[in-house]
Amino acid sequence: MGTRRNFIEKLTVASVGVPLVYNPSTLFAATGEHYDGPVLRVAIMGLGSYGTRVAKAMVSCKRARLVGLISGTPAKVVKWRAQYNIPEKNCYNYQNFDQLKDNPDIDAVYVITPNGLHCEQSIRVARAGKHVICEKPMGINAAEGQKMVDACKAAGVKLLIGYRMHFEPKTVAVIKMRQEGVFGQLKFFQGQSGFVIGNPNQWRLNKKLSGGGAMMDIGIYSINGARYMLGEEPVWVTAQETKTDPVKFKEGIDETIQFQMGFPSGAVASCLSTYAMNHLDRFFLNGSEGFAEMQPSTGYGPIEGRTHKGKLTQPHITHQTLQMDGMAKIIFEDIQPIVPVDGEEGVKDMKIIDAIFLAVKTGKKVML
Ligand code: NAD
């Protein structure tokens, strides 16, 4: 079987023309080597569209396995149980999942429900003694995020946020180049994240369940991306909202927000978050010595990109497979990815979202 070996070999020579040696373990890839270490036994909570994608991707994981379900829809449980060979004793609903505490066969729960439910559900999972993996955004504001961090600490479990891009090979390669100084003094980041939202009755357009509109859902990629591409934390934000459809995008549900962030080094980020444009998924980073451009930059892939050194050719691997193997490494071996995916990382993004909403409301620059 040459394919996995080829993958590892490709990783050792970056497309920028300079041999960059990556330790495959830092990418958390399933390497094809024999693996007989611990396997993270995961239950998915919320068997919706993204939960379905994660479950499929986990079939290829070496270090993580889907072993349990939490759902409010019995028919889905029947289907998933058959598809993934899941025992009935590992299946729960939203009322009884606190009983996870008596189940030694589940290590972690991946919360993939609407944003407004993440905080309460994650805290219940933590109190049941299970590690929490929670989708982005981790909650609907920084206060919720902090409560989740505190609850997981108190319960002695890990809290990880579903930042799949932190494991994605081309993204990791650009972050490494930035760390090595290939772009020189960083000056500017542009992040554009958006798609056209469909059905007006979905939870994503319901403030209580979503916490906001495009910003919570897709704009967060530009926020998180600005931070990992520049490698700094912003100290101020400014933001402006544009709303062309106030019927679909009610009070508290943002359609389009342009926002800017300033960083301690003097670098600035200029970003766009929208529910009104399709195919908007682009990162651009420029420093005194060079640039990186990625488009698509955060979709399910393949990610495409180039730098002033050339095209990025790291292979596409299903993001959620890399992520879940990587998260097992974090939980069992305390090996961190190039950019953390822990609860504190999630809270940093939530604080910026809070500040962006405040900047839109007040029209003022908000200091962080
Ligand atoms: P979805 O609507 O397809 O699925 C949501 C699931 O939650 C459904 O199974 C639904 O039945 C269940 N649910 C439980 N209580 C509910 C309630 N009160 N109202 C509505 N649904 C309820 O949504 P999705 O696209 O799977 O998104 C779920 C989460 O995953 C969100 O937080 C979203 O931001 C995140 N997500 C992340 C990515 C990523 O790439 N990391 C991609 C898509 C979605």
46 lines ligand 1 (CB under 6 A): yes
The pLDDT value given to residue 108: 99
Quick one: 158 and 97 in the same domain? yes
Nearest-angstrom CA–CA distance, 36 and 38 = 7
Atom number in ligand 1 closest to CA 73: 11
Residue nearest to atom 44 of ligand 1 (CA): 50
The pLDDT value given to residue 365: 98
Domain presence at residue 259: yes
68 lines ligand 1 (CB under 6 A): no
pLDDT over 50 (residue 14): no
131 lines ligand 1 (CB under 6 A): no
CA of 21 to the centre of ligand 1 (A): 38
Domain presence at residue 34: yes
φ, ψ at 367 (rounded to 5°) = -85, 145
The pLDDT value given to residue 32: 61
Give the model confidence (pLDDT) of 54-75 as tens digits: 999 999 999 999 999 999 999 9
Q: What would the DSSP string read from start to end of 22-44?
A: PPHHHHT---SS---S--EEEEE
Give the model confidence (pLDDT) of 127-145 as tens digits: 999 999 999 999 999 999 9
Quick one: 49 and 130 in the same domain? yes
Give the model confidence (pLDDT) of 154-166 as tens digits: 999 999 999 999 9
Quick one: 181 and 110 in the same domain? no
DSSP state of 311: E
The pLDDT value given to residue 16: 37
Domain presence at residue 318: no
136 lines ligand 1 (CB under 6 A): yes
Both tokens of residue 52?
């379905």
When divided into structural domains, the chain yields a total of 2
Neighbours of 364 (CB within 10 A): 11
Residue 33 pLDDT class (50, 70, 90 cuts): low
Domain presence at residue 356: yes
- The C-alpha torsion from 291 through 297 and 298 to 302, rounded to 10°, is -130
Q: What angle do helix axes 319-333 and 49-58 make, rounded to 10 degrees?
A: 70
Percent of the chain exceeding pLDDT 90 equals 90
Atom number in ligand 1 closest to CA 163: 41
CA of 174 to the centre of ligand 1 (A): 30
Quick one: 207 and 151 in the same domain? no
Quick one: 254 and 351 in the same domain? yes
State mean pLDDT over 33-57.
Answer: 95
Ligand 1 pocket mutation, candidates 73, 112, 193, criterion most atoms within 8 A of CB: 112
φ, ψ at 349 (rounded to 5°) = -65, -40
CATH number at residue 295: 3.30.360.10
CATH number at residue 55: 3.40.50.720
Helix (H, G, I), strand (E, B) or coil at 319: helix
Decide which of 134, 164, 194 is a domain's last residue. Answer: 164
Domain presence at residue 184: yes
Quick one: 106 and 190 in the same domain? no
CA of 113 to the centre of ligand 1 (A): 4
State mean pLDDT over 23-35.
Answer: 54
Atom number in ligand 1 closest to CA 52: 26
Give the model confidence (pLDDT) of 196-213 as tens digits: 999 999 999 999 999 999
114 lines ligand 1 (CB under 6 A): yes
Range of weakest confidence among 8-12, 67-71, 299-303: 8-12
Decide which of 164, 182, 206 is a domain's last residue. Answer: 164
CA of 325 to the centre of ligand 1 (A): 22
Helix (H, G, I), strand (E, B) or coil at 174: helix
Quick one: 256 and 355 in the same domain? yes
Contacts of 191 (CB under 8 A, 6+ apart): 221, 222, 223, 225, 226, 269, 270, 271, 272, 282, 283, 284, 297
Atom number in ligand 1 closest to CA 50: 26
Nearest-angstrom CA–CA distance, 178 and 346 = 22
Quick one: 309 and 348 in the same domain? yes
Give the model confidence (pLDDT) of 152-196 as tens digits: 999 999 999 999 999 999 999 999 999 999 999 999 999 999 999
Domain presence at residue 13: no
Give the model confidence (pLDDT) of 333-356 as tens digits: 999 999 999 999 999 999 999 999
Q: Which domain holds residue 225?
A: 165-313+343-367
Give the model confidence (pLDDT) of 254-284 as tens digits: 999 999 999 999 999 999 999 999 999 999 9
CA of 117 to the centre of ligand 1 (A): 10
Q: What would the DSSP string read from start to end of 189-256?
A: EEEEEE-----TTSGGG-HHHHSSSHIIIIIHHHHHHHHHHHTS--SEEEEEEE-S-TTTS-TT--SE
Domain presence at residue 15: no
Give the model confidence (pLDDT) of 71-92 as tens digits: 999 999 999 999 999 999 999 9
Quick one: 216 and 249 in the same domain? yes
Catalytic residues: 136, 221
CA of 209 to the centre of ligand 1 (A): 10
47 lines ligand 1 (CB under 6 A): yes
115 lines ligand 1 (CB under 6 A): yes
State mean pLDDT over 8-21.
Answer: 35
53 lines ligand 1 (CB under 6 A): no
Decide which of 164, 181, 203 is a domain's last residue. Answer: 164
Quick one: 147 and 78 in the same domain? yes
The pLDDT value given to residue 2: 33
Cα 321 from chain centroid (whole Å)? 13
Both tokens of residue 4?
């996995």
Domain presence at residue 95: yes
* pTM (two decimals): 0.93
Quick one: 264 and 296 in the same domain? yes
Give the model confidence (pLDDT) of 308-317 as tens digits: 999 999 999 9
- The answer to whether residues 315 and 169 touch, using CB atoms and an 8 Å cutoff, is yes
State mean pLDDT over 14-33.
Answer: 42
Quick one: 47 and 187 in the same domain? no
Both tokens of residue 19?
């041999």
